[in-house]
Structure 1
Amino acid sequence: MILNEHKGRTVSNKLLKINELYLDNYRAFEDFTIKFDEKLTVLVATNGKGKTAILDAIAVAFGTFVNATGLANGKAFSRTDVLQFTPRNTLVKTVEEKYPLTLRAKGNIDSHDVSWMREIKNPKARTSINNTKPLINYGTKIRELVTQNNDNALPLISYYGTGRLWAQKRATKSKKLSETSRLSGYIDCLDSLSNYKAFKSWYEYICKSELEMKIEAIEKESINPPHNEFEDIRKALQEAVNEVIPNNSGWHDIVYRQKAKAIIMDHSEHGELPVTQLSDGIRSMIGLVADIAYRTIKLNPHLNNAPKETSGIILIDEIDMHLHPKWQQTVLPDMMKAFPKMQFIVSTHSPQVLSTVRKEQIRILEDNRVFTPSSSSLGEDSSVLLSEIMDISSFPPLEIVSKREEYQDLVEDRAYDTNHAKSLRKELIDNYGETNTFIFQMDMLIHKFESMKKVGK
């Protein structure tokens, strides 16, 4: 168990983790098992092969824990999650559901190795909670600790789906009444939409309170003003956002400005702008990082740097969404630097993302199976990963690409002097230019064959 010291006590790094997930009769999965790395797991598959389904299933796996904390709603299975099939040898085509839908999980709950299960047994049944006692007990324990004013560290679980960009959700009455509680850090945590509206309201309060404390100290001409905890919170959140956003955008130091009545960021060339005016990619990442940081601070306001000290599980669907390829090459390392104690489970379509990940942390999903790549991925060329891991040619399926391949075959067969080969070469030069690397490589190969011809080989 990895431990951190805090105020004379130890804070476990394994308060909430998932190590293994088994699914049967769930969407497209039958008798399926996947294991997760303790720090980072990256899911790779073509569309419709189950990346989002696995993230959804993890959210359901922890649904009873979130429910038990008291203020938030967990997730359960729906009827649409049940595997559907068409029976063979029937005169009339029918679609049937296959039961029971079963989920089994293994992980660490409150620093203990545990396993649990959720299922739907039949069409009339609801998602079971009977076999999730360790999660319910831990959620209940957390609720009791908070009501007793105990400052034990609380773990975070949070899910961010592809619809997360600038989600604006209307808070319910119960959410508004509970927004000051530590446990409000769990509200909507499994919703898959980052609630920027909730973050904005909270951060506005933090920045205003910090300023009010400073003004009060000045007015009282205090020699030793009281410690400004709101400033600590603002700096901790800024630090988390600055770990991820500035490197590829230049925007930094997120703060609320009373004059603009908006959350703004600063840029050395563009000055200050409201976050709402920035690009989709930047806004998406700010919303994601700020939401995680906001939740860690809500759950653990007593920690010196909650984003860096809070442990838990972060689920992100399509981590590369809206990001420039250059940013895709740094997003995971930066996120793990901003939240070093979190277990990240993410999906991606990007070879640039995969080039920053060890092969042992990649899970390729294909036809109800899961496997890790046989070749290295960390630091590898993106075009190689596109081919070897994602099984996609780095060249698009265009006619000019077919002609390129045909010309290469002719050169390698030493038929480069034929009229057809010369015609293909001219067409390729017209498209790529005479200084293109491929043309140069083919010319070098022709030169090699011509030299061999002169010496009689």
Structure 2
Amino acid sequence: MRIDTLQLENFRGLRQVDLVFPGQMTLLVGVNGVGKSAVLDALAILLSAFVSRLQGNANKARKFSPDDIRVGQSGLRTSLQVSIAEQTLSWSMALNQRAGRDAGYKSELEALNELTKPWAEQIAGDQAPFNLPVAVHYGVQRAVVDTPLRVRDRHVYAQLDAYDEALENTATDFHAFFKWFRQREDLENEQIRDHAGYRDPQLVPVRRAIEQFMTGFSDLRVRRNPMRLTVKKDQVEFNLQQLSDGEKCLLALVADLAQRLTLANPGLADPLEGSGVVLIDEIDLHLHPRLQREVVSKLTGIFPNCQFIVSTHSPQILSHVPDDSVWLLRRDETSAEIVCSRPPVGTFGLDSNSVLEIIMDVPEREPQVKARLRELFVLVDGSQLEEAKALIEDIEKTSGELGELVRAKALIRRKELIGR
């Protein structure tokens, strides 16, 4: 499954948004409050119409609420086009509210119903395994606060559990993954007693995804006394709670996605090659710049048939994707409306300072430092060399050895040699 286009009209702070998603990775970029999270949430709501029908209960689908209607407007409209099962189909949802009347909900889901009905019947009939695309939304409120591992009653996991809480607008705590992992490892350990070297076929791809994504990490496992989840980092064993927030969050996200793909694709030799749509808000959350540089290529490499639509504030990430994979959301100075456009220059390969200044409209230097550097070169040009030297010393105390200071010193030496 792949999302092709999205149209939003009067959704929250967005008057009109028309987006296309041509590649495997799409970045949504912009300052806080321009609607990046809103776009991701709209996608999650529209995708829930697909998931709920597979689950055999269309009423479970998320719906737009009156609070989603843009202030001053009477309704909203949304539309999604996807490519799935070698066909292209669209569905739409609208919500209208007049003064003094209840909201009126309208949806056009005929094509979606035609697609999902036979699939739902096949799932309910417990017929031969077939593969399903995943759809999951990781919101900005995601964290590994604890790792619940005690299992009172064994749960029989089915294919549709791949969609458990996948598109909800709630905090993501990854509890379901940890409970699933504990139960699968118990089953694995039972087999190991009789078959040394046995590895659970559902845990294998999850462990492999972690090891490929998290450099130096291996051997995710449950320790029983006391009960805890551990992982090796550079061959040293850590309690999962001892890792940094960035490491915990990234490990849990990768493992959770791998688990969902494993459940959804019982017919694939390698479940990590399953398809689907993955929405991630603030993909750079808690990540060191080095990990930010790597996260895009690793996600698309380890999950080659998943489409990722993510938001970010990171210039490190922005410079590592093709130019047509970036949508810049900004507020138009004339109309004050939020508009979406491609960046003014190609982003791939740009250095971080250029991304900050050109794409994100953030000055490379603090205004005060820039003003003092301008003052410095005015002094040098005017041959006020002693004053210039004093200013250089002053700037170095607060800002260190800047490249402009090296240039200014060279100009001063040249002026002194030629007698000003």
TM-score by length of 2: 0.88
| Match 2:307 to one of 343, 349, 352 | 343
Rate the CA distance shift 1:231–1:178 in 2: closer, same or farther, 3 A.
Answer: closer
| Match 1:301 to one of 251, 266, 271 | 266
TM superposition shift of 1:277: 2.2
Q: Which residue of 2 aligns with 1:391?
A: 361
2: CA distance, partners of 1:199 / 1:304: 21
The alignment status of 1:328 with 2:260, answered yes or no, reads: no
Query: Amino acid of the residue matched to residue 120 of structure 1?
Result: L
Rate the CA distance shift 1:449–1:146 in 2: closer, same or farther, 3 A.
Answer: farther
Rate the CA distance shift 1:77–1:426 in 2: closer, same or farther, 3 A.
Answer: same
Q: Which residue of 2 aligns with 1:80?
A: 67
| C-alpha distance after superposition, 1:388-440 (max 9, x if no partner) | 1111112234x3443134324544xx12526653442231133344x543311
Contact 2:210 2:217 (8 Å CA) reproduced: no
Q: Which residue of 1 aligns with 2:51?
A: 66
Q: Which residue of 2 aligns with 1:92?
A: none
Q: How does 1:173-184 map to 2 (within 5 A)?
A: 180-184=157-161
Rate the CA distance shift 1:349–1:69 in 2: closer, same or farther, 3 A.
Answer: same
Query: Amino acid of the residue matched to residue 417 of structure 1?
Result: Q
Contact 1:120 1:126 (8 Å CA) reproduced: yes
The alignment status of 1:375 with 2:340, answered yes or no, reads: no
1:128 aligned counterpart, secondary structure: strand
The alignment status of 1:145 with 2:122, answered yes or no, reads: yes
Query: Amino acid of the residue matched to residue 325 of structure 1?
Result: P
Q: Which runs of 5+ in 1 are unaligned?
A: 1-15, 86-97, 171-175, 219-224
The alignment status of 1:257 with 2:223, answered yes or no, reads: yes
Q: Which residue of 1 aligns with 2:384?
A: 417
Q: Which residue of 1 aligns with 2:29?
A: 44
The alignment status of 1:111 with 2:117, answered yes or no, reads: no
2: CA distance, partners of 1:145 / 1:177: 25
Q: Which residue of 1 aligns with 2:232?
A: 266
Q: Which residue of 1 aligns with 2:6?
A: 21
Q: Which residue of 1 aligns with 2:206?
A: 237
The alignment status of 1:356 with 2:311, answered yes or no, reads: no
TM superposition shift of 1:71: 6.9
Greater mean deviation of Cα atoms: 346-355 or 102-111: 102-111
Q: Which residue of 2 aligns with 1:207?
A: 185
1: CA distance, partners of 2:172 / 2:255: 9
Rate the CA distance shift 1:178–1:145 in 2: closer, same or farther, 3 A.
Answer: farther
- Provide the alpha-carbon RMSD of the alignment: 2.6
* Percent of aligned positions that are identical: 28
| C-alpha distance after superposition, 1:248-275 (max 9, x if no partner) | xx33232233444322110236x21221
2: CA distance, partners of 1:258 / 1:334: 32
Q: Which runs of 5+ in 2 are unaligned?
A: 332-337
2: CA distance, partners of 1:80 / 1:177: 40
TM superposition shift of 1:289: 0.7
TM superposition shift of 1:214: 1.9
Query: Amino acid of the residue matched to residue 352 of structure 2?
Result: S
Query: Amino acid of the residue matched to residue 427 of structure 1?
Result: D
2: CA distance, partners of 1:160 / 1:355: 23
Contact 1:107 1:115 (8 Å CA) reproduced: yes
1: CA distance, partners of 2:143 / 2:363: 30
TM superposition shift of 1:113: 1.1
Query: Highest relative contact order (Cα 8 Å, sep 6+), 1 or 2?
Result: 2
Rate the CA distance shift 1:233–1:204 in 2: closer, same or farther, 3 A.
Answer: same
2:11 aligned counterpart, secondary structure: coil
Query: Amino acid of the residue matched to residue 207 of structure 2?
Result: Q
2:345 aligned counterpart, secondary structure: coil
Query: Amino acid of the residue matched to residue 38 of structure 2?
Result: A
**Runs ≥4 residues deviating over 6 A:** 167-170
TM superposition shift of 1:359: 1.5
TM-score by length of 1: 0.81
Q: Which residue of 2 aligns with 1:291?
A: 256
TM superposition shift of 1:337: 1.3
